[in-house]
């Protein structure tokens, strides 16, 4: 394992965060805070609590998860797409660095950025509502697993995308709607039975449910199912990336 190469790419990607601090850290925190204020005030005035948890506190895990998904995707996809766009990816591919080390460095940096944003949002939310984390170990596990999984997904999108429009296509048209419809601001038990069944086909439901359980001990689906679905998505992303590097898809042309 070439730790020097991993560290070099990782530090380069993290340094880019410092150069774009407002876009990388401050902007998502402000956006999530606005979601919190608007939804907490508008809906919270009509829904005082959900399963014994105040509505303001109830939406915190969903807001953090929403930010994790979007930030992991955007950081990882742009991180690998930009070297492809400028042509510097060929320097990385020709260097004595294995594909595994390249993925670890880029995905690790993207996941680190999103985890930092998630923790900042968690601390910010604590200023608005009293928070309770019943299972901090599980909370950190879901935080890291989700960040790494969607960073891998973003890595795939960054390799697949042929232009900047395609780079934004999946996050805007697929992932963000799934996050909003996945129980970020409500419990799926509040939906009609037919819609509850339909919602269970949304993979984001399992991520948000497991993460919310780590806070309040309440979940729309079992925590074991949530963990299994997260690991399954992680395995699928790893398999796709392995195929990409094996075939050279969009990398060697």
- CA–CA gap between residue 132 and residue 57 (Å, rounded): 9
Domains in the chain: boundaries: 3-247
How many H helices and E strands in the chain? 12, 2
- CA–CA gap between residue 9 and residue 169 (Å, rounded): 26
pLDDT of residue 44: 61
For the stretch 75-84, pLDDT in tens is 899 989 988 8
pLDDT of residue 45: 62
Q: Which residues of the chain have pLDDT under 70?
A: 20-24, 40-45, 252-253
- CA–CA gap between residue 90 and residue 78 (Å, rounded): 16
For the stretch 94-140, pLDDT in tens is 888 888 899 999 999 999 999 998 998 888 888 878 888 999 999 99
> Do 53 and 131 meet the contact criterion of CB atoms below 8 Å apart?
no
Model pTM above 0.85:
yes
3-state secondary structure of 49: strand
> Do 153 and 73 meet the contact criterion of CB atoms below 8 Å apart?
yes
Angle at alpha carbon of residue 178, lines to 172 and 184, rounded to 5°? 115
pLDDT of residue 156: 94
Phi, psi of 184 (to 5 degrees): -65, -40
pLDDT of residue 171: 83
């Amino acid at each position: 394992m070439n730790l020097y190469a991993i560290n070099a790419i990782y530090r380069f990607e993290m340094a880019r965060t410092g150069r774009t601090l407002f876009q990388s850290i401050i902007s998502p925190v402000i956006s999530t805070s606005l979601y919190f204020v608007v939804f907490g005030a508008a809906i919270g005035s009509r829904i005082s609590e959900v399963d014994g948890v105040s509505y303001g506190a109830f939406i915190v895990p969903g807001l953090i998860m929403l930010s994790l998904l979007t930030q992991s995707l955007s950081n990882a996809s742009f991180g690998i797409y930009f070297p492809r766009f400028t042509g510097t990816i060929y320097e990385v591919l020709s260097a004595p660095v294995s594909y595994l080390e390249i993925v670890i460095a880029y995905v690790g940096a993207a996941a680190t950025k999103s985890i930092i944003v998630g923790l900042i949002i968690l601390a910010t939310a604590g200023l608005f509502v009293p928070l309770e984390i019943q299972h901090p170990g599980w909370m950190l596990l879901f935080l890291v697993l989700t960040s790494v999984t969607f960073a891998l997904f973003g890595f795939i999108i960054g390799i697949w995308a042929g232009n900047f429009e395609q780079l934004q296509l999946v996050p805007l048209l697929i992932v963000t709607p799934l996050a909003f419809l996945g129980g970020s601001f409500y419990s799926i038990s509040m939906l009609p039975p037919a819609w509850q069944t339909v919602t269970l086909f949304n993979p984001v439901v399992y991520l948000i449910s497991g993460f919310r359980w780590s806070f309040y001990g309440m979940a729309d689906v079992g925590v074991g199912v949530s963990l299994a679905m997260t690991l399954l998505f992680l395995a699928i992303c790893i398999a796709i990336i392995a195929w990409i590097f094996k075939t050279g898809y969009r990398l060697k042309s």
